[in-house]
Amino acid sequence: MSCWEILGLPSDADTRRIKRQYATLLKQTRPDDDPEGFQRLREAYEQALDWSSPMAELEFSAAPTVFVETTPCTRETGLPRKDPGPSAAQQAASELLDGITAQLLDERFARAALYCCQAEFEEQLLQLCLEPSPQSRALIQWALKQFQWLSPWQEGVLPTQALQQLQHKLFVDVRQTLLQTLALGDLNSFRQMYEQFRQSSWMQSLERRRQYGRLLADVLLESAFWSSELFAELSRLENWEDDARYVVNPESYWQSLLKRSRTEAFVEEQKRLAALDDRTPESRAARLLFGALASSERIVHARRMRKQDWIACQHLSEVVYNQYPQLRKSMPEGDPFFWRPLESALTDWPMYMAAVVSGATCAIAQFGLSMADAAAVLSGTLFWSGMFAGCTWLFLKLWRALIDPASGLEQHLTTRLSNWLSPRRPAPLLLREIVPCWLLGCAVAFSGGLAALLAYTGCLLAIGGLQRVREHFLWPARAYRSMPSSVLTRSALFAGAVLLLIVGMIAYGNHIRLGRDQGLQPWPERLCTRSPDLPECRASSSRVQWYAEQRKQEPGQ
């Protein structure tokens, strides 16, 4: 097949017609899509030009809808130019790059060959790639493949400063791409992007490989996402563990990466323990400090914890404070010991205080308020209070061990019902605090009667009301948190107040029942004590013997 058949022209076509036909066919035969067809078209075009008349006119326009009529450029001679403006090749390259997109680059660069302005086209394309535009990334990728910029195979001589700016822009783009990919947690995509950049032709120089290693280290240190598996893989591929040859300051980067690795491994282990949600002290401490809990959920969880759990919390907080200080800011309020105000969140002392009050009520109901029966009242108070308090302790121990696995149900019920069932704030737990109060109140009513039940219920309501008033009106939250919260101290103070109340009630009762001239008289006391067998002592004492005679009214009264 001859060149004229390939071009679809008669053999007497002139140069201008040949170039027009070639520009038209070039739109249908792209170098990337059909390299062999493009090569045949190019050879036919050159052969047709050789056969055409040398006297044919040289002016033609490859695409009249885009470009104005221009003259194909020829290389400058060594003579000085009279016109200091841009050369014909620069003007042609500028017209070819006007409104350029990545889809038009192949066609426009092929046209640049017709005008002998490939070098000008490449240089102006480099300047265009450095400008901030949505098309710059796609233009750079095409140029890196076509011209092999920044690689050992680069042919054109380009401005050094422009190439440095291009290198900086490429590394900024690589950093942003890797950070965005790693933030998504897609390790497979990150590995692919890492390998793609690593194998790029412009990345093959030793200096750029070192810069790429520093960039990877910065990405791992800056990203919020961390993978121990990915860190180990990159350490092996970049030889960070051995000699860190791709890092300018290997010791600094390596120590920072190791510190981040140890910290993330510690956090992952604590989150694993927190997710178990078992009843071991370590798991409960990890859930309180590292679990994804809301404030209300953290309070509920704290009320389930025991003494061993708080010891584990203290140890874990000390480890975070001393060994992993960078984790402090991620803690609530930026303090690893934020949980200390929650340590006394499970307040059982109101139930014990109510047990003491109900025991005193039972003793007063049994022995009365007479001063003569004060010792009996006190002993009865100790007996009933001790019995009620002991039953409370035993019942709480067994009951909480029984309902401890139902933490999810307890949180659900507490959130919806506790605020309506108790005046205390924060509201107590439904299954661990409110239900035991009701059951113990039934036991107190069965043992001590209605008066003991009323005293038990009234004491609980009074304590809850006082706590709510104190929290909202008397002291601000921070001052309240800084106050001593020892259960023993509060119990001792409350027990003393209860005893003073009992003594005061007895004294007041005796003051009402005994008059000024009433009381046991000396005569029957002495006589019956020494001679109990006398007939007077066997018989019931008369009013005259027990009580003094009333003073006779004086005349005139």
pLDDT recorded at residue 511: 45
Span 477-500, mean pLDDT?
A: 47
Q: Is the pLDDT of residue 74 over 60?
A: no
Tell me the per-residue pLDDT of 390-402, one tens digit each, with 9 for 90 and over: 888 888 778 877 8
Q: Is the pLDDT of residue 482 over 90?
A: no
DSSP 8-state symbol, 417: I
Buried b (16+ CB within 10 A) or exposed e, 158-182: beeeebeebbebbbeebbebbbebb
Q: Is the pLDDT of residue 346 over 90?
A: no
Mean pLDDT is lowest, of 71-85, 131-145, 171-185, for 71-85
pLDDT recorded at residue 167: 93
Asked if 522 and 544 count as a contact pair (C-beta separation under 8 A), the reply is no
Q: Is the pLDDT of residue 306 over 60?
A: yes
DSSP string of 505-522?
HHHHHHHHH--TT-S--H
The CB-based long-range contact list for 280-284 (8 Å cut-off, 24+ gap) reads: 281/306, 281/308, 281/309, 281/311, 281/312, 282/312, 282/316, 284/309, 284/312
Tokens 């679809």 identify what position? 8
Nearest to 348 by CA among 486, 487, 457, 454: 487
DSSP 8-state symbol, 186: -
pLDDT recorded at residue 435: 83
pLDDT recorded at residue 485: 41
pLDDT recorded at residue 113: 85
CA 2 to the chain's CA centroid: 73
Decide which of 65 and 2 is more confident: 2
Mean pLDDT is lowest, of 161-170, 522-531, 539-548, for 522-531
Mean pLDDT is lowest, of 220-224, 323-327, 400-404, 433-437, for 400-404
pLDDT recorded at residue 72: 46
pLDDT bin (cut points 50, 70, 90) of residue 83 is: very low
Decide which of 176 and 294 is more confident: 176
Decide which of 348 and 442 is more confident: 442
Angle in degrees, 0-180, between the axes of helices 160-183 and 187-198, rounded to the nearest 10:
160
Decide which of 346 and 128 is more confident: 128
Q: Highest mean pLDDT range out of 196-200, 244-248, 442-446?
A: 196-200
Decide which of 530 and 101 is more confident: 101
Q: Is the pLDDT of residue 172 over 90?
A: yes
pLDDT recorded at residue 164: 92
pLDDT bin (cut points 50, 70, 90) of residue 92 is: confident
Indicate the average pLDDT of the chain: 75
Provide the percentage of residues in the chain whose pLDDT is more than 90: 12
pLDDT recorded at residue 189: 92
Mean pLDDT is lowest, of 67-71, 162-166, 196-200, 411-415, for 67-71
pLDDT recorded at residue 175: 93
pLDDT recorded at residue 195: 92
Decide which of 529 and 44 is more confident: 44
Q: Is the pLDDT of residue 95 over 80?
A: yes
pLDDT recorded at residue 349: 76
Tell me the per-residue pLDDT of 23-35, one tens digit each, with 9 for 90 and over: 778 777 766 677 7
Decide which of 403 and 98 is more confident: 98
Tell me the per-residue pLDDT of 310-321, one tens digit each, with 9 for 90 and over: 899 999 999 999
Predicted TM-score (pTM) of the model is: 0.52
- Peptide bond before 426: cis, by omega within 30 degrees of 0? yes
CA-angle at 229, arms to 227 and 230, nearest 5°: 70
Span 511-522, mean pLDDT?
A: 45
pLDDT bin (cut points 50, 70, 90) of residue 125 is: very high
